[in-house]
Structure 1
Amino acid sequence: MKHSIFQALTERSFLMLWLGEVVTQIAFNLFNFFLVLHVFTLTHSNIAVAGIVLSFTLPSVLFGVVAGAYVDRWGKKRTLFITNISRALLLVFLAFAHTNLILIFLISFIVSIITQFFVPAETPMIPLAVKREHLLSANALFGIGIYASIFIAYIISGPLIILFGKVVTLLIVAGLFLIGALFIHFISINAKKPASKEKVVVDIQQTFATVLSKKPVYHAIFLLALSQVIVLIMAVITPGYATDVLKMRVEDFPLRFIAPAALGVLVGAVLIVNIFHSLKKDVVINAGLLLAGMTMFLMSYGSAMNKIFTITAVTPINILSFLAFILGIANSMIFVPANTTLQEETRDTSRGKVYGVLNTMVGIVSFLPVIIVGSLSDIVGVGRVIVGIGGILVLTGSIRLFLSR
C-alpha cells in the first residue's frame, strides 16, 4: 500500500525513536498514577493529592520554554538519553525512601523538571528520523503512542502495586526508563549540533517572534494546546460524569471510555494516513474540531440518551463508548495534521524551543480552566460543562472554516 500508517516504521531510526517514546511515556504515566495512589494511601488527604499533581504540572509553566532553548543547544538525541537515565536513577533512590512524603514531593518535582527537557527533544526528532513523505505517518504513530501509553499505564498501575508492592513497582518503572534510553541509543541521525552564540533569553525572544510571525506555526500551536487542554479538562470532569450523569461506577470508566477513545485515536490515525492524506491539513483539522464538538453535545445527554435511541439493546453506557470512540477519531484529526504542520514549518535549530513554547502554553492555559471547570461542574452540573466545551470546539471549527473560505 502506497499510503500506510506503518511507512515510517520501515526507517530504523524512527522505529527506535517510536519504541523509545512508547516505553518512556508508559513509564512516566505509570509514575504519575503511582504517585497519586501512593500519596493518597499515605495521607488520605485530597489536598496532598492536589499538591502532588501540582508538583508534576507546575514545572511545564516554569521551565518549558527555557528547556526548549537548551535542548536546541545540547542536541536532541543526547538530551533524550540523559533525561531517561536521570529519571531512572531518581526512581531507584525513591524506591528505598518511598515513605518520606517530603522526598516524594521533591523527587516528583525534579522528575517533572527533567521531563521538561525530554518533551521538546522528543517530537522535534521526528523530522530528523524520517523522510518528509513519511512525516504524516510518523506523527500518526506518535499520536497513537501517546494515548495508548496513557491507557496502558492507567490500566496496569493498580495491579502492579497490588501484585509486586510499591518498591518493586518503582524499580519496574525505573527499568522502563532505562529500556527507553536503550532504544534512543540506537537512533542514528545526521543532525548537527547548533552553535548558537546568542544568550538563552535572546534565543527565547527570537523564538516567540518566529512563532508570532508565522501564521501556520501559531495556528498549529494553538490547536495542539487546545487539544491537550481539552484532554486535561475531561480528566477532571469524567469521574463526576461517570457517577452523576451515567450512574455508573467510576472504576468501570477507563474500560468504557478511555479504551474506546484510545481505539478511536488509532482508527483516526489510520484514516488520516490511508484515506485523508490527499486533503489539505486545515480541512481535516476543521472537520475534527466540528466532529469533537458535536460528539460532546451528544455526550451531555448522559442517561437520557436511551430515550433518543429506541433500540432496547443499546444502553447509555454503550452509546458513551461509541461517542468516546468518535471523540478519539476527532482528536487524531486535530493532533496529527497540526503536529505535522508545526514540524514542516520550523527548522531543526529552533524546533525544540517552539515545542518548549507549546509545553509552557499548555501548562499556563490549562491551569485556570481546569480549576474553573472543576468548580463549575459542582455548581451547574457536568452535563452543562460538557455542552460548553462542545460549543467552544464547534465555534473554533466554524470560525476557522469561515476564515479559510
Structure 2
Amino acid sequence: MNDIAAPRARDVLRRGPFVSLLAGQFVSQLGDGLIYLSLIIMLNRLLDETRATAAIGILLICQTAPRVLFGLLAGVYVDRLDRKRLMIVADVARGLIVLACLLVTRPDDIWIYYVCAALLSALSAVFAPAKSASLPHLVTKDQLLIANTLSQTGFYVALTTGTALAGVLIGVFDSPVPAIIFDAISFGVSALFIAALPLPHHVQRASTQRAAQVWAELKDGLRFIAGQRLLVGSIAGFSLTMLGAGATNVLFVPFVVNDLGLSETWVGFIDLTQVMGMVAINLFVARIAARYTPAVIFGAGIVGLGLSIAATGWVQQAWVLFPLSVVWGLTIAPVQASAATLVQSVPDAVRGRAVSATETLVGIANVLSMALAGLAGSAIGVRSSFIAGGLIAALGGVLAWWVMRSAVLSDQSISGQLISQPAEIPVEIDQ
C-alpha cells in the first residue's frame, strides 16, 4: 500500500481549460451515445433476428477496425503535428460524415451505416490519442488521476444518458433522425471548446518526411512501451479482457430484447445503472489508488468484471441485470482511470504513440471478439457466450496482476509520479 494523499476533485474542477475540455466532450459523447444505440436498434428493426445479430457485429467491427488499422500510425503523427488542429479537423469531419446516416431508409441501405462507422472510427484514431496526450498540459501531474477519473465519469454519464434517450426518441419519433442531427451538432460544439484550449503549439514537421523515418519513430515508441512493465501489464490484461468481453457488446441488445423480452428502451436504463456504479466508485478512486498497487487494482477490477459478465449467462429474471450492471461500473472504473493515467504519464514526445499503441492492441482483441460473437452465439448460444466471454475476461485480470506484480512501485504509484524515471527512448525524437 502507498501513503500518498489523494488529490481533491474540486481543485481539478477549478482549472478552467480542463473544465472546457470536459464540457465539450460531454456534449459530443452524449451525441455518440444517442446515435450508437439508435443505429443498433434500427438494425434490429430493419432486419430479422439472425441478420440483425450479424449486422450489429459488422457495425461494431466497422466502429473498431479502422482504429486498429490506423491507430499506431496515427500515434506517430499525433506526436509530430499540432494536436489542437488535429482534434478540430477530426471533429468537423466527423460532424459532416455522421449526417450521411440520414440516407438509410430500408434494409438495402445499411451499408451506409458501415461506411460512416468506419470513417468515424478512422478519425477517432487521430482524435483520441491527441486528446489523451493533451490532457497532461491542462492539469498538474498529481491531478492527472483525478482528471482522468472525472473524464471517465463524464464520458459514461454522457454516453449512457445518450443511450437511454435513444430508446425514448426512437419510441417517440420511430426514427434515428433526431439522434443523428444531435450527434452532428455535438461534434461542432466539441470543436469550438477545443479551439479555445491553451495547448502548446507543436512544430509541424515536413509532410514529405520519408516513410522510413515514420516507421523508425513508430518502433521507438513501441520499444519504449515494452520497457515499462506497468504499461505492458495493463495492455496485456486489457487485451485479453476485451477478447472475452467484446462479444457481449454484439450480443447484449439481442439478449435483452429477444431472450428476456424487454423493449429496446430498457437497454439504456440498464446502462444507466452501470454509470451509477462508476460514479459511486469514482468518488473513491484516488483513495483506492493511493492505498493499493496497480497490480491489485487491475487484477481485482478485471476479475470482478469478468465474473459479473459470466453471471449474465445465468440471468432468468430481467431485474437481475440491474445490480449486475452496477457491479460492471464498480469494477471497471478504477481500472480505466488508472490505465489512462499510466499511459499519459510517459514523456510528451512519445505520449501519442503510447496512447495509440494501447488502443490498437486492445482494439485488435475487441475486433476479434466481436467477429467471433455471431459464430459463438450460433454455436453455443447467447447465454453460453456470456459465460465463456466473462471467464476469458477474468483471466485478463489474472494476467495483468501477474505481469505488474513485480514492477518497482516506489516511484510508480498510480496516484502520483507514475513513471518518474522513464526508460530512455532509443532514438532521439525531434519536436
Same-fold call, TM > 0.5?
yes
Where 1:302 maps in the other structure, the secondary structure is: coil
Q: Which amino acid aligns with 1:279?
A: Y
CA distance in 1, matches of 2:112, 2:314: 45
Q: Which amino acid aligns with 2:226?
A: L
Give the corresponding residue for 2:296.
283
Structure 1: which 5+ residue stretches go unaligned?
304-315
Q: Within 5 A, what are the aligned runs for 1:1-400?
A: 3-37=7-41, 46=52, 50-92=57-99, 94=100, 97=103, 101=109, 105-160=114-169, 162-163=172-173, 169-190=179-200, 192-193=202-203, 199-226=213-240, 231-242=245-256, 247-251=260-264, 253-255=266-268, 257-303=270-316, 316-344=317-345, 346-398=346-398, 400=400
Tell me how far 1:165 sits from its aligned partner.
5.6
Tell me how far 1:263 sits from its aligned partner.
1.1
CA distance in 1, matches of 2:97, 2:384: 43
CA distance in 1, matches of 2:294, 2:148: 13
- Seen in structure 2, the aligned counterparts of structure 1 residues 399 and 57 have a Cα distance that, compared at 3 Å, is closer
- Seen in structure 2, the aligned counterparts of structure 1 residues 228 and 124 have a Cα distance that, compared at 3 Å, is farther
CA distance in 2, matches of 1:232, 1:63: 20
CA distance in 2, matches of 1:361, 1:87: 24
Tell me how far 1:83 sits from its aligned partner.
1.0
- Seen in structure 2, the aligned counterparts of structure 1 residues 4 and 231 have a Cα distance that, compared at 3 Å, is farther
Q: Which amino acid aligns with 1:112?
A: S
CA distance in 1, matches of 2:156, 2:17: 22
CA distance in 1, matches of 2:115, 2:309: 38
Return the structure number with greater helix share. Answer: 1
Tell me how far 1:362 sits from its aligned partner.
2.9
CA distance in 2, matches of 1:164, 1:249: 17
C-alpha contact 2:101 2:112 (8 A) present in aligned 1: no
- Alignment RMSD (CA, Å): 3.2
- Seen in structure 2, the aligned counterparts of structure 1 residues 255 and 168 have a Cα distance that, compared at 3 Å, is closer
- Seen in structure 2, the aligned counterparts of structure 1 residues 110 and 367 have a Cα distance that, compared at 3 Å, is closer
C-alpha contact 2:164 2:272 (8 A) present in aligned 1: no
- Seen in structure 2, the aligned counterparts of structure 1 residues 331 and 103 have a Cα distance that, compared at 3 Å, is closer
Instruction: Decide which moves more: 28-37 or 149-158.
Output: 28-37
Q: Which amino acid aligns with 1:69?
A: V
CA distance in 2, matches of 1:209, 1:139: 25
- For residues 190-217 of structure 1, the C-alpha deviation after alignment (integer angstroms, 9 at most, x for no partner) is 3644759772222212222222232222
C-alpha contact 1:72 1:353 (8 A) present in aligned 2: yes
Tell me how far 1:271 sits from its aligned partner.
1.8
CA distance in 2, matches of 1:399, 1:108: 32
Tell me how far 1:130 sits from its aligned partner.
0.8
- Seen in structure 2, the aligned counterparts of structure 1 residues 381 and 8 have a Cα distance that, compared at 3 Å, is same
Instruction: Decide which moves more: 269-278 or 191-200.
Output: 191-200
Give the corresponding residue for 2:412.
none
- Seen in structure 2, the aligned counterparts of structure 1 residues 52 and 294 have a Cα distance that, compared at 3 Å, is closer
Give the corresponding residue for 1:310.
none
C-alpha contact 1:269 1:333 (8 A) present in aligned 2: yes
Q: Which amino acid aligns with 1:209?
A: R
CA distance in 1, matches of 2:126, 2:319: 41
- For residues 274-316 of structure 1, the C-alpha deviation after alignment (integer angstroms, 9 at most, x for no partner) is 454333232222221232234345444323xxxxxxxxxxxx4
Tell me how far 1:142 sits from its aligned partner.
1.8
CA distance in 1, matches of 2:342, 2:60: 31
Q: Which amino acid aligns with 2:180?
A: L
* Number of residue pairs matched by the alignment: 390
The percent of aligned pairs where both chains have the same amino acid is 21
